[in-house]
Amino acid sequence: MRLEHLLAALKQPPLHIYGSDPLPEHTDILGLAYDSRKAAPGYLFIAVPGVHTDGRRFVSDAAQRGAVVALGAPLEDPTDLPIPYIEVADVRAALADLACAFYDYPAQQLCTIGVTGTDGKTTTSNIISTLFDAAGHNTGLMTTANFKLNGQEWANSTRQSTLEALEIQEFLRKMLDMQATHAVIESTSHGLELHRVRGCAFDVGVVTNITHEHLDFHKTLDAYRRAKARLFEMLDPSQDKGKGYRKVAILNRDDSSYEVLKPYCQVPILDYGIDTPAAVRAVDLNLQASRTAFRVILPDAECQIDTPLIGRFNVSNCLAAIATAYSQGISLEIIAHTLATIKGVPGRMEHIDEGQPFSVIVDYAHTADSLHKVLSILRPVTQGKLMVVFGSAGERDVQKRPIMGSVAAQMSDFFVITDEDPRDEDRESILRDIAAGSIQAGKQEGKDFLCIADRREAISAAFERAQHSDTVLLAGKGHEQSIIIGREKLPWDDRQVAREELRPYVQ
């Protein structure tokens, strides 16, 4: 694509251009890269500012690899530039605009569904994708845990819940090229705040819930909620893709986020709930250890739902997905039949059975609210002790740590506090932050809980204490394939480690 056409796509024009007068706008740009190591001859390099480094430091490296022009934030010293440099006010917004243009605006030809919230985003996104596939649509999916396209599914090993704008637009283009009609995109608060989903032209916005999380980044709960609200601001009632897609906001009437998000919605709202009157409502819940049943009432119909997805929070996730499918004309018959046989998401309430005499569950629960919900499910189906191994990520929300410690103290019989992803923080300090909440709740270290930084040792310690009919929950990592210690991403899979540590207990 010609450089002039890419620059014309910027919603905010460049502030200044250095290194070439005039800029060679007729230059053909063969690719975009925000990582200098991925730059190649004919590329435009976008110098994205990061947490630990600044993309402007790598302009020379990108040039050496063949990049012909760079774009980034204003420079303190614009001398000695190896290639022309385009200054912009918002680099991430520019990256998204350039990516949309380079891949020829694929979202404009897809029904795009954004799913946000604190907990349940991945499960809800997967349920939505499965329902649309069952209805005969060709659906693409991007979540924290997995990707799906053209009937193929693979794990998300990037450790990014919402990819950068460049990868999102590339994947949307791939969906379109493979005749997909619908795209389901897990949209985190980071992804919304940092313009990663800018240009996705959402038709449907879905929220699960909004609880205490990511205040390391957003600083306040109000700012966190405001970031989530961006998804619903992006639902443009004037935008018509000409394919009959219905613009709608799917809000959780049971959650406090309902009143927060409602003012940002300029399209029709379809709300769902269990405890409150809503357009899509679940009644007569029957929560069992292996299955869940409820009756769903819609504005013009109702039916019985029976699903292997367990727990009250999965009823809410199902309602969000049902509301989404219903809004786009999918029949209740297809919805009910699909939910009856749907498979769970990897690393979400996943049973690890190696023949041991106690139960082991791996789940992604990494917030106080999600940990509380999972333990609430496991408590009534556990005949013996309920134990949990968990931690809290380094360089992330510090305020939630003692809250998680308090939840474990109140909801489990024994627990081990351990690493999640300590990153560059002191591992022991993180454990102490969590333990403070447990101690304040009346628990005693050494008797009621242990602090063991090494996650394998922590899991082993929990298994050593487990008896027949006990349940051990390994929380916080779920599907993830790595653990981040310092700047190093080390191979790690809770499910695999659990299987290895269970071998001595196989009967």
The residue count of the chain comes to 507
Is position 196 annotated in a ligand binding site? Answer: yes
Is position 143 annotated in a ligand binding site? Answer: no
| Residue 186 CB neighbour total at 10 angstroms | 27
| Residue 30 CB neighbour total at 10 angstroms | 14
Task: Round to whole Å and give the CA distance between 22 and 1.
Answer: 19
Inter-residue contact 86 to 67 (CB < 8 Å): no
Is position 160 annotated in a ligand binding site? Answer: yes
Is position 123 annotated in a ligand binding site? Answer: yes
Is position 426 annotated in a ligand binding site? Answer: no
Q: CA dist 463 to 416, 466, 467, 477, Å?
A: 11, 5, 8, 17
| Residue 332 CB neighbour total at 10 angstroms | 18
Is position 36 annotated in a ligand binding site? Answer: yes
Is position 162 annotated in a ligand binding site? Answer: yes
CA angle 31, 37, 41 (to 5 degrees): 40
Nearest to 215 by CA among 396, 437, 433, 424: 396
Task: Round to whole Å and give the CA distance between 285 and 318.
Answer: 13
Is position 121 annotated in a ligand binding site? Answer: yes
**Burial (0-12, 13-18, 19+ Cβ within 10 Å), 402:** buried
Residue 33's SS3 state is strand
Task: Round to whole Å and give the CA distance between 362 and 218.
Answer: 28
Terminal-residue alpha carbon distance, the chain:
63
Is position 120 annotated in a ligand binding site? Answer: yes
| Residue 505 CB neighbour total at 10 angstroms | 15
**Which residue type sits at 206?**
V
Residue 142, H or E segment: strand 139-142
Annotated binding-site ranges for ATP: 117-123
Annotated binding-site ranges: 36, 117-123, 160-162, 188, 196
